[in-house]
Amino acid sequence: MLKHGAMHKNKQWNVKGAMRLADAFHFLHSCGSGCLLPFLTLFFRHLGLTPTMTGLIMASKHLLALVWRPISSVLARQYDKRRTVIVGSLVSSALVVLILLLFPSAGLEGESGRCNASQPSPSPTQNIVQFTTLHISPQFNATVYSVERTADVTEQPNEDNTEYTPTHATSNTTRSVRGVRSLKKSSHQHEENPRAEFLGSLKVMDAQHQMFFLVLIVIGFWEFTAVPLEWTTDDGLHEYFDFIDATDRHRGVKVWKHLGAAVGSAGVGILVTSLFCLTGTMAEFYSYSVLMLLTVPAAAFLPLYLRKRERPTRGVFKALQVVHGNSQALLGAVTVVLTGMTSSAVSDFLLWQMQDHDATEFHMGVSLALANIAQVCFTPLNGRLVRFLKYHGWLLVLAVVSLSLQCLYYSFLWGPWAVIPAQILAGFGTGALWWSVASQCEDVATPGTEKTVLRLFEALSLELGAGLGSLTSGFVVQKFGVKVLFQGTAVILALWSVVVLTLLKWKIPRQRRINYSRLLADASEMSESESDQEKDWMETALEGSRQNNKWTIDKP
């Protein structure tokens, strides 16, 4: 009977099957995210939004995730609704994101020449710009302009020097279009048109600002539905593998996340480039939605486990106390915030820079995939590199330096494929950064708080730092351009690497003695002292016994 019960228990906790489900779930979800998230700011550019508007939207997205992600994770655990939250997040995010396809472009389609390149043109320097008014719906009848190129019109210079102007092949047409468009829009502002109202309070805004607020609302709602998934899934899987004593295997899902993101970015890049003249960028959104829905069956069978006892609610506060009470942890926290700002600036405007140098979605997708693959390839090398450096803090300095060189390289792009060396370096820098941060968390965290401290660092980088970086980079690109953004970021990271190197040199000798040499010495000294104390006590007791016995015998 006991044997049958043991066999039934072993069959119930199928570790290999659970790992396959977890790997499949993370691969499909990351593949879907890779199809859309890296290209999102490029879509905002297609809608005609300025860099400042793009930065504000992305900053709002990150800051919303900073607040809502931990709250949703706690609520899902408290009410035992993890699987419902995961499945609901997949389905709702797949449907909400399609709302963005209802918005027509409020700006210029610089890529329109890709479909007309095969058609003969009497003169490449003669173009005509025609504006058409598009009515979206009876509720939103904003004036939106599209561009059609024909012959026999001389280009006019752009009079608005404050607006960011791309430098791709159609920049001359862009300047002519903006000059005429500004006159067209200024004339419409003086007209009384009750149908141009948007929710009443937005009637005084032009089409571009109306589009900005519409996109901001949709992105906020989309982030609200999508953001609970990651931490809720991670908590459920971690508790399951912890219950069956297989926590180390759960760490392997990170590899499948990177592989899924690489496949999604490269695949959608090829798909969009092949079907651009038929579907434009719609393939990115439909690919995301389809893959999110395909992830639902894997989510429905995920091995989630809920413990009987509740997790202490002071976990976050304990993590904050640990980081605040350790100078090295504070240095790491500031570093991850700065690197998070850098990563968001790169992810928001790198594709703009590539598009300005005639790159298509194919070039972009392949370059993004190489960064993820490079990060996977770095994982087996991190242990050897740390043993060579003799301290994981030096790896943090190398990560900051590599990110600085990466940004400097981005500012001097000259062609579609020129970005590849920097992407490989980006994979190395990102992998080194998070391996060093994870090692630091193990050093400073108290037992049971390692995961919470690591999540605190992730939130500081991926949400707080990313939000600040998107907000700042949008204003910088609007005022100075993408090239100045990357060069300024490279200088800031280079200076910070010098600061980190100086502080670590001051802290490392004492830290190394505590972690290695002194720890072994203390252990050996303690064992020797304990044996000596025991020996002294025994000898004293025996000698005292002998003296007492001798005194007793000799007394008579």
**Confidence class of residue 365 from pLDDT cuts 50, 70 and 90?**
very high
The single residue listed with the structure tokens 């002071």 is 314
Q: Which two tokens stand for residue 405?
A: 């060189």
- Write out pLDDT tens, residues 322-333: 888 788 888 889
Arithmetic mean of pLDDT, 380-386? 68
Task: Tell me the residue ranges of DSSP E strands in 38-175.
Answer: 128-129, 149-150
CA angle 53, 170, 277 (to 5 degrees): 85
The single residue listed with the structure tokens 């393939």 is 283
Quote the mean pLDDT of the chain. 76
| 3-class secondary structure, 188 | helix
Q: Give the DSSP letter string of 471-535.
A: HHHHHHHHHT-HHHHHHHHHHHHHHHHHHHHHHHHHHHHHHHIIIIIHHHHHHHHHHHHHHHHHH
For residue 153, what is the enclosing H or E element?
A: none
For residue 34, what is the enclosing H or E element?
A: helix 15-36
The single residue listed with the structure tokens 């190395």 is 428
Question: Which pLDDT score, from 0 to 100, does residue 366 have?
Answer: 96
- Residue 114 in contact with residue 169, Cβ under 8 Å? no
Arithmetic mean of pLDDT, 111-127? 45
Question: Which pLDDT score, from 0 to 100, does residue 527 have?
Answer: 52
Residue that wins the pLDDT comparison between 438 and 353: 353
Question: Which pLDDT score, from 0 to 100, does residue 352 have?
Answer: 95
CA angle 476, 478, 479 (to 5 degrees): 65
| 3-class secondary structure, 65 | helix
Domains in the chain (CATH in brackets) are: 13-105+201-305 (1.20.1250), 110-141+143-196 (no CATH), 314-519 (1.20.1250.20)
Neighbours of 142 (CB within 10 A): 25
DSSP category for residue 461: I
- Write out pLDDT tens, residues 335-344: 999 999 999 9
Arithmetic mean of pLDDT, 523-538? 50
Question: Which pLDDT score, from 0 to 100, does residue 80 have?
Answer: 86
- Residue 394 in contact with residue 500, Cβ under 8 Å? no
- Write out pLDDT tens, residues 474-514: 999 999 999 999 999 999 999 999 999 888 877 654 444 44
CA angle 200, 206, 208 (to 5 degrees): 115
**Confidence class of residue 306 from pLDDT cuts 50, 70 and 90?**
low
- Residue 25 in contact with residue 294, Cβ under 8 Å? no
Cα–Cα distance for residue pair 534/548, rounded to 1 Å? 21
Cα–Cα distance for residue pair 428/443, rounded to 1 Å? 23
Burial tier of 155 (Cβ tally within 10 Å: 0-12, 13-18, 19+)? middle
Of 167, 106, 43, the closest CA to residue 482 belongs to 167
Handedness of CA 174, 180, 183, 189 (dihedral sign): negative
Arithmetic mean of pLDDT, 238-242? 83
Question: Which pLDDT score, from 0 to 100, does residue 200 have?
Answer: 56
**Confidence class of residue 543 from pLDDT cuts 50, 70 and 90?**
low
Of 227, 296, 304, the closest CA to residue 28 belongs to 296
Phi, psi of 2 (to 5 degrees): -65, -35
**Confidence class of residue 437 from pLDDT cuts 50, 70 and 90?**
confident
The single residue listed with the structure tokens 């193990």 is 442
Residue 463 has pLDDT above 80, yes or no: yes
Question: Which pLDDT score, from 0 to 100, does residue 495 have?
Answer: 96
Of 8, 425, 416, 49, the closest CA to residue 219 belongs to 49
Residue 283 has pLDDT above 70, yes or no: yes
- Residue 268 in contact with residue 365, Cβ under 8 Å? yes
Task: Report residue 82 CA to chain centroid gap.
Answer: 23
Question: Which pLDDT score, from 0 to 100, does residue 326 have?
Answer: 83
Q: How many residues does the structure list for the chain?
A: 556
The single residue listed with the structure tokens 């404050």 is 162
Arithmetic mean of pLDDT, 27-32? 96
The single residue listed with the structure tokens 């079907």 is 275
Looking at this protein, which amino acid is placed at residue 258?
H
Half-sphere exposure of 40 (CA within 13 A, CB side): 27
Arithmetic mean of pLDDT, 152-158? 41
Handedness of CA 362, 364, 369, 374 (dihedral sign): positive
Cα–Cα distance for residue pair 371/379, rounded to 1 Å? 13
Arithmetic mean of pLDDT, 446-456? 83
Cα–Cα distance for residue pair 164/160, rounded to 1 Å? 9
Question: Which pLDDT score, from 0 to 100, does residue 307 have?
Answer: 56
Question: Which pLDDT score, from 0 to 100, does residue 312 have?
Answer: 47
Q: Which two tokens stand for residue 367?
A: 């370059």
DSSP category for residue 462: I
Residue 163 has pLDDT above 50, yes or no: no
Q: Give the DSSP letter string of 330-366.
A: HHHHHHHHHHHHHHHHHHHHHHHHHHHTT--HHHHHH
- Write out pLDDT tens, residues 51-97: 999 999 999 999 999 999 999 999 998 888 899 999 999 999 999 99
Residue 269 has pLDDT above 50, yes or no: yes
Backbone φ/ψ region at 415: left (φ over 0), alpha (ψ -120 to 50), beta: beta
DSSP category for residue 446: P
Residue 548 has pLDDT above 90, yes or no: no
Question: Which pLDDT score, from 0 to 100, does residue 116 have?
Answer: 60
**Highest averaged pLDDT of the listed ranges 149-163, 413-427, 507-521:** 413-427
Cα–Cα distance for residue pair 40/44, rounded to 1 Å? 7
Arithmetic mean of pLDDT, 216-245? 90
Arithmetic mean of pLDDT, 537-551? 51
- Residue 93 in contact with residue 226, Cβ under 8 Å? yes
